[in-house]
Amino acid sequence: RVIHGSRISVYVGVVSVGMSVLIGVFIGSIAGYYGGWMDRFLSTITDLTWSLPEILVALLMVAVIGAGVECVIIAIAFTYWAQYARLIRGQILMLKNEVYVEATRSLGANDFTILFKHLFPNAIAPVVVAATIGIGQAIVLEATLGFLGLGAQPPLPSWGAMMSSGTAYLFISPWVIIFPGLAMMITVLGFNLFGDALVDLLDIKEQSSL
């Protein structure tokens, strides 16, 4: 059951972070590229979203749209998008004045081509690393919502729901909580180590120091 429950937790983590990356990258790219009032407006919304506790935003979203796997995915996606928006905005701001961008613009390229064909591929690497680590955070948040009864509903297995139901048997059958907790810990650790490996593989630190 613990192994079967990993499908729900990993699925929610990957899909929700993928959605939050799409939202954050789009908003952050537009804000960083155009600047001015649009940057101030979008950055204000991003900062307001980021300033709220993640669990509070997720609980509010789940309370509005209801419990279940799909609802949890949407809730987590709208919880995490701000960090990716800030990250891609900073990268775009740093790259948009490079010589190759000016050369491309002088050749008649439009904003869409410059942004998504030239700037985006050079700015996405840190976002990929952050998203990989963010999957682990999303899995923990999904387990938290499941523990509160707001995640995957029975009979679907979920690590959070397993630990919640196991609290009644904590001193009789502690493995009901221990094994889902260990599975979640190992999975989150795996994604974090994978993200650290991507930092070295993509030379993020070296690029940021140039």
Name the more confident of 22 and 205. Answer: 22
pLDDT of residue 51: 80
Dump pLDDT digits (tens) for 1-59: 888 888 888 898 899 999 999 999 989 888 888 888 888 898 888 888 888 777 787 78
Count of C-beta atoms within a 10 Å radius of residue 51: 8
pLDDT of residue 71: 83
Which alpha helices (DSSP H) does the chain contain, by range? 2-34, 36-51, 54-65, 69-95, 99-106, 111-113, 120-123, 125-147, 159-166, 175-201, 204-209
pTM here is: 0.82
